[in-house]
Each structure stands twice: as structure tokens, then as C-alpha cells.
């Protein structure tokens, strides 16, 4: 992948609502929409890349675990749940992440998993004195890298990817040498939606003898990930965005099979022990990816992933990707035709193949526009600097939802109603 300086490909959309309606009628995933809860029928929700909607089957499934498992079965139900982190991990590996069985587990949060895998990778290369991170990456990734660099006395090398177009592998090549132990990157950029070339990055790092740790939080469940095929070493990601696991649902981690026994994680908990219930005096990690587990998993939030993941499996990641790509094309074409005269510009790669399932629009007053849109029944979000992020989830977002939301946006800015709001920014997560 190179910096995107080419002319944007011609759009297949003409920008009319009638066309959006035709795409809705032909949508092979239209049946999924009613499998999610829509508590406010008139709400146009374009923030699925922050928090996915609630699957309709989730409340009863979780209630059953609470009522029948916890309430009636008590500890006798433990055997039904004890291996969920591995079973669900294998489902993610097969249907979402392009990994092999035994390479993915659910565990902790994305931040904790990032710390565990990054720390293990650095310990594995004691002679190397540098760690690479992207200056534009999600804050938690940069913060973890900064902390580990200080703790290990390493040089923190920063690659500066383009805010809109994402990482150029040649910029990464410039900071790689035989001193780099680990590279930490996101597959899909949280701000712009730029999609990194995983295979190319892995190959560059491998030439330098470094490992790569990928954050898949904005790609898992939205774009095909091919960890095994692309030669990935390590990865982490959350499950509450396109996987619809709910607020704070457990994260996942991936470790390539050939690395599992060579890496020793820093948080030595009893779920990573070889003979867990022998309660031995010393930590002896199991020889599988389970060594990266820590303590007792949060069973109730884990339970919510069972029906949620079933919907992703039924839809199929390729169909989700195809629809997500089209939704993004529709939004980009609308922006070019109707929003550009109002001061908006696309702050994402122009080529839809180089975007994930969200895109970003720049406007000098994006913060107030985002706040004012909430009063218009449109939920999206704001990211610094001056960017409005549009995140339609292909599992439940209609083409007309995107068209109607952007039309409300156009009318809002054209009227100037957003300028009545104060300029100050609140905390945005």
C-alpha cells in the first residue's frame, strides 16, 4: 500500500435517495436488521464503530445464564462456562480473524491484552533496544508503548502516518533496523478508517527481525482479517464494536502458534497454569495460547458474545465487508456532491478498498456539528482535529439510514443552527 494520491475511483452512486432505497431492497443482509434492538425507531445510528447495537437474542440468553446457571445451577454450572474463552476464541479465529484453532482466546480488555503481548514480545528480544509506534494510533496503544519503553529502558521510535490516508509502509521501513524488537500498529485507523496493508507490514518487520502487534478493534467483524495468511505474529482487539458484544465485553488476543511456548506473559494468573486445579506452588504456564489468560473470566459479559457472534457467523465476513464498503461509498459520494459546498472534505482514503467500514469528514466546526446532530436524531462522533466520524455497521444499517442522516447533516449546516452551540469541547471517548 502506498500513499493515496491517485484520482478517486468513480462512484457507482448517483447520490439520490431513490438509489439508496434500491440498494436496501437488494440488500442480502437486510434480514439482519430485525435481529437487533431498535428502541428508538426514528434514531439514525452511525456510531457502530464505537458501540454496536444490542442483538435481540442477547437479553434472554444472558438472563438464562443468570437465572438457570447462576441462580439454579450455582457452581454446578461452572463446567458449562469454564472454557468459553477458548471456544469463543476458536469461533473468532475461524469466522472473523482468519486464524487457526488454538490461536485466539477471550481475555481481559484490549489495553491489558496489548500490555501482556507487548511485554512478552519485548522480553523475548532482550538484545533489541527499540519499540515502534504510530503517532496517529489510538491513545491506549501509544500509552502502553510509552510505559513499556520507559520500564524497559528502550528507545520509542515514532512513525508519523498521514492522518487521513493512513500508514505508508515506506515510512515504516525508514524506522526499522536490527534494534527494533516490536512494532505496534492498528489494522484500521480509529480516526480515518484507513486500512493498513497487513501482509506488507509483516513482511517489512520480518526482514528486520521484529515482531508486529496488531490492534484489530476497528476491523474485527467489519473487514476480512487474515492473520495466518498474512503472517501475523500477535494481535488484540475488542468485541463491542462491529461484533456487538456490549459495553466492555471481553477483548481477544491472538498469538501465532509457533510463538506460544516461546513467549511468557507478565501477568501470571491461575487460568494460564498448566494444571490449573492442582493449585501448584509455582507458575508453570500451559504450552498453548491459554498461557495468556489471567484470572476468572467475566462470565456474564462473555455470555453476551454467544448470540452476538452467531449473527456475524450467519452474515459472513465477506458479505459484511461488501455491504460496509457500499455504505461507505454512498456516504463519500453524498459528501462530495452535497456537503463539500458547505466546507466538508473527506478525511479518509478516497479508495473504498483502502478504508474499513467507517469514514471521516473534516469541517472546521465539526465539534458543534456533531453535538447539534444529536438533537436532529443522528448519532455519530467527533475526533480531533475537526473530524466527524461516520460509522455505519453493515449488520443493521440501511442505505437509506446513511442517506437520511447525511441529508439532516446538510440541512443543519446549511441553516447554521449548529452555530448556536458553544465552542468548548467536552471529553470524548
What confidence tens digit (pLDDT) does each residue in 214-224 have?
Answer: 999 999 999 99
Specify whether 45 is catalytic: no
Average pLDDT over residues 14-24: 92
Q: Is 235 helix (H, G, I), strand (E, B) or coil?
A: strand
Percent of the residues in the chain that have a pLDDT greater than 90, as a whole number:
91
What pLDDT is attached to residue 423? 77
pLDDT, mean over the chain:
94
Residue 425 — pLDDT band, cuts 50, 70, 90? low
Q: What is the pTM of this model?
A: 0.94
Residues 331, 334, 335: CA angle, nearest 5 degrees: 85
What pLDDT is attached to residue 7? 52
Specify whether 334 is catalytic: no
Backbone phi, psi, residue 99, to 5°: -115, 175
pLDDT tops 60 at residue 71: yes
What pLDDT is attached to residue 429? 38
What pLDDT is attached to residue 79? 87
Interatomic CA distance for residues 277 and 274, integer angstroms: 9
**pLDDT tens digits, 197-249:** 999 999 999 999 999 999 999 999 999 999 999 999 999 999 999 999 999 99
Q: List, in order, residues 6 or more apart from 155 with CB less than 8 Å away.
A: 129, 130, 131, 149, 179
The single residue of 389, 399, 401, 410 carrying the catalytic annotation is 389
Interatomic CA distance for residues 148 and 146, integer angstroms: 6
**pLDDT tens digits, 91-128:** 999 999 999 999 999 999 999 999 999 999 999 999 99
Specify whether 138 is catalytic: yes
The single residue of 35, 53, 157, 241 carrying the catalytic annotation is 241
Lowest mean pLDDT among 3-12, 151-160, 251-260: 3-12
Q: Is 202 helix (H, G, I), strand (E, B) or coil?
A: helix
pLDDT tops 80 at residue 281: yes
Please indicate whether residue 8 or residue 358 has the higher confidence score (pLDDT): 358
What pLDDT is attached to residue 15? 78
The single residue of 141, 215, 365, 401 carrying the catalytic annotation is 215
Specify whether 292 is catalytic: no
The single residue of 13, 45, 190, 240 carrying the catalytic annotation is 240
**pLDDT tens digits, 154-197:** 999 999 999 999 999 999 999 999 999 999 999 999 999 999 99
Locus of grid cell 471481553:
250
Locus of grid cell 491461575:
270
pLDDT tops 60 at residue 292: yes
What pLDDT is attached to residue 81? 87
Determine whether 371 is exposed, middle or buried from the number of CB atoms within 10 Å of its CB (0-12, 13-18, 19+).
Answer: middle
Average pLDDT over residues 386-415: 98
Asked if residue 368 lies in contact with residue 22, where contact means CB atoms within 8 angstroms, the answer is: no
Average pLDDT over residues 389-418: 97
What pLDDT is attached to residue 1? 36
The single residue of 45, 138, 271, 396 carrying the catalytic annotation is 138
What pLDDT is attached to residue 11? 64
C-alpha cell at 118: 507487548
Residue 331 — pLDDT band, cuts 50, 70, 90? very high
Interatomic CA distance for residues 416 and 394, integer angstroms: 31
Long-range (24+ apart) CB contacts under 8 A made by 232-240 are: 232/198, 232/202, 232/256, 233/121, 233/202, 233/259, 234/117, 234/121, 234/259, 235/97, 236/110, 236/113, 236/114, 236/117, 237/110, 238/109, 238/110, 239/106, 239/305, 239/308, 240/51, 240/52
Amino acid at each position: 500500500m502506498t500513499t493515496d494520491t491517485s484520482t478517486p475511483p468513480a462512484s457507482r452512486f448517483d447520490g439520490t435517495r431513490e438509489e439508496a432505497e434500491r440498494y436496501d431492497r437488494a440488500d442480502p443482509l437486510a434480514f439482519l436488521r430485525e435481529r437487533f434492538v431498535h428502541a428508538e425507531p426514528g434514531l439514525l445510528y452511525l456510531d457502530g464503530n464505537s458501540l454496536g447495537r444490542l442483538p435481540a437474542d442477547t437479553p434472554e440468553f444472558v438472563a438464562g445464564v443468570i437465572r438457570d446457571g447462576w441462580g439454579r445451577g450455582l457452581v454446578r454450572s461452572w463446567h458449562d462456562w469454564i472454557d468459553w474463552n477458548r471456544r469463543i476464541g476458536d469461533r473468532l479465529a475461524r469466522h472473523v480473524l482468519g486464524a487457526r484453532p488454538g490461536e485466539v482466546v477471550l481475555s481481559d480488555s484490549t489495553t491489558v491484552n496489548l500490555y501482556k503481548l507487548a511485554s512478552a514480545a519485548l522480553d523475548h528480544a532482550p538484545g533489541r533496544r527499540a519499540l515502534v509506534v504510530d503517532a496517529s494510533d489510538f491513545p491506549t496503544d501509544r500509552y502502553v508503548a510509552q510505559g513499556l519503553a520507559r520500564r524497559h529502558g528502550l528507545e520509542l521510535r515514532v512513525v508519523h502516518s498521514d492522518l487521513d490516508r493512513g500508514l505508508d509502509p515506506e515510512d515504516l521501513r525508514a524506522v526499522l533496523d536490527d534494534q527494533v524488537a516490536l512494532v505496534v500498529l492498528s489494522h484500521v485507523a480509529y480516526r480515518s478508517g484507513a486500512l493498513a496493508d497487513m501482509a506488507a507490514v509483516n513482511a517489512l518487520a520480518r526482514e528486520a527481525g521484529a515482531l508486529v502487534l496488531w490492534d484489530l478493534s476497528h476491523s474485527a467483524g467489519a473487514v476480512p482479517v487474515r492473520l495466518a495468511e498474512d503472517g501475523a505474529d500477535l494481535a488484540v482487539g475488542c468485541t463491542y464494536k462491529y461484533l456487538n458484544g456490549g459495553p466492555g465485553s471481553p477483548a481477544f488476543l491472538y498469538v501465532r502458534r509457533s510463538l506460544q511456548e516461546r513467549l511468557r506473559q507478565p501477568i501470571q494468573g491461575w487460568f494460564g497454569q498448566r494444571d490449573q486445579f492442582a493449585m501448584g506452588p509455582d507458575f508453570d504456564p500451559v504450552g498453548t495460547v491459554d498461557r495468556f489468560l489471567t484470572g476468572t473470566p467475566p462470565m456474564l459479559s462473555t455470555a453476551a458474545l454467544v448470540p452476538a457472534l452467531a449473527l456475524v457467523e450467519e452474515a459472513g465476513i465477506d458479505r459484511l465487508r461488501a455491504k460496509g464498503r457500499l455504505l461507505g461509498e454512498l456516504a463519500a459520494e453524498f459528501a462530495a456532491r452535497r456537503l463539500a459546498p458547505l466546507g466538508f472534505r473527506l478525511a479518509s482514503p478516497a479508495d473504498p478498498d483502502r478504508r474499513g467500514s467507517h469514514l471521516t469528514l473534516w469541517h472546521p466546526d465539526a465539534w458543534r456539528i456533531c453535538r447539534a446532530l444529536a438533537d436532529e436524531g443522528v448519532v455519530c462522533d467527533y475526533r480531533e482535529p475537526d473530524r466527524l466520524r461516520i460509522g455505519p455497521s453493515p449488520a443493521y444499517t440501511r442505505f437509506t439510514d446513511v442517506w437520511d442522516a447525511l441529508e439532516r447533516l446538510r440541512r443543519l449546516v446549511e441553516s447554521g443552527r449548529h452555530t448556536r452551540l458553544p465552542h468548548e469541547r467536552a471529553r470524548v471517548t
